Structure 1
Amino acid sequence: MSGCVFCGIVAGEVKAFRVADEPDGVAFLDTRPVFKGHVLVVPRTHVVTLTDLPADALAGYFGLVQRLAVALESGLGAGGTFVAMNNKVSQSVAHLHTHVVPRTKGDGLRGFFWPRTRYADDAEARQYADRIAAELPVHPDA
């Protein structure tokens, strides 16, 4: 969709630190992460909310989200993950996206207050993306 930053990322027209690029979706680092390694997962097709995602796409899309949760834990040494999405209200980009955020005990994240951080530079962001991608379990259909 013209003007959608996430569609631009999917198409390769907008710079992003990709973690996964698969038929079911694209995953990349959030530019303003809650914690470093915070990934956004988007479907390849432009849909605005979860209710717009076709039922036959759910398993593949959430399978990718699930595998990324595993990759964040093993690739970053996270104790767990926080997985969330907004639909319309508080949705910063009108393209369905799921946040997969690495968590550690005592990291300070409470409720829905999401402090944001930044990567020191592109090299640090690429390092986080590469560490996560290296641990991403193989797609079951690959």
Structure 2
Amino acid sequence: MCLFCDIAEHKFEANIICETEKTISFLDIAPVNEGHTLIIPKMHVDSILDLPDDYVMEITDVSRKIIRAFQKIYGAVGYGIMQNGGRNCEFGHFHFHVFPRLENDGYDWIYPKGEKKVSKEVAKKIADSM
């Protein structure tokens, strides 16, 4: 069984923030900043591509509520949202990271080295494939 499925079924203890019909949200055990929250669907999938639209909309709605709480509680100047899917989903269960960004919090996004092409051709290739 999956750890996140166990949390969703209340078989494994977590610091739960909120629960809806389709989602459960709880504190990350290795937070970027205090309040770092994971939002997971109660359905076991590893990619947003496999989630029904109503789950995606509920996760988005919950994330907005959590971000508003960050502003009230921490005076957050911003927020971060991250999600790794498919083979990059480290727990094998879709999860949305939502965390407050605080003034001078030291969090940084690190890009891999090497040049990446940014052009109209790249934009068109993606647009044409949608």
TM-score range, shorter chain: 0.7 to 0.9
**Unmatched tracts of structure 1, length 5 or more:** 114-142
- Corresponding residue to 1:97 among 95, 98, 102: 95
Question: What whole-Å deviation, never above 9, does each CA across 1:46-79 have from its counterpart, x for those lacking one?
Answer: 1111001012322222111111111122123222
Q: Which runs of 4+ in 1 moved over 6 A?
A: none
Query: Structure 1: which amino acid aligns with 2:91?
Result: V
* SS, match of residue 110 in structure 1: coil
- Corresponding residue to 2:23 among 25, 50, 54: 25
- Corresponding residue to 1:36 among 26, 34, 37: 34
Query: Structure 1: which amino acid aligns with 2:31?
Result: P
* Distance in 1 separating the partners of 2:62 and 2:40: 10
**Unmatched tracts of structure 2, length 5 or more:** 112-130
Q: How many residues are treated as equivalent by the alignment?
A: 111
Structure number with higher relative contact order (C-alpha < 8 Å, ≥ 6 residues apart): 1
Per the TM alignment, residue 89 of structure 1 is displaced from its structure 2 partner at its CA by 4.4
Aligned 8 A contact 1:24 1:64 in 2: no
Query: Structure 2: which amino acid aligns with 1:108?
Result: G
TM-score (norm 2): 0.78
Question: What whole-Å deviation, never above 9, does each CA across 1:104-127 have from its counterpart, x for those lacking one?
Answer: 1211111148xxxxxxxxxxxxxx
Aligned to 1:84: 82
Task: Please show how residues 56-135 of structure 1 align to structure 2 within 5 Å.
Answer: 56-112=54-110
* SS, match of residue 100 in structure 1: strand
TM-score (norm 1): 0.72
Aligned to 2:6: 8
Q: RMSD value over aligned CA atoms?
A: 1.6
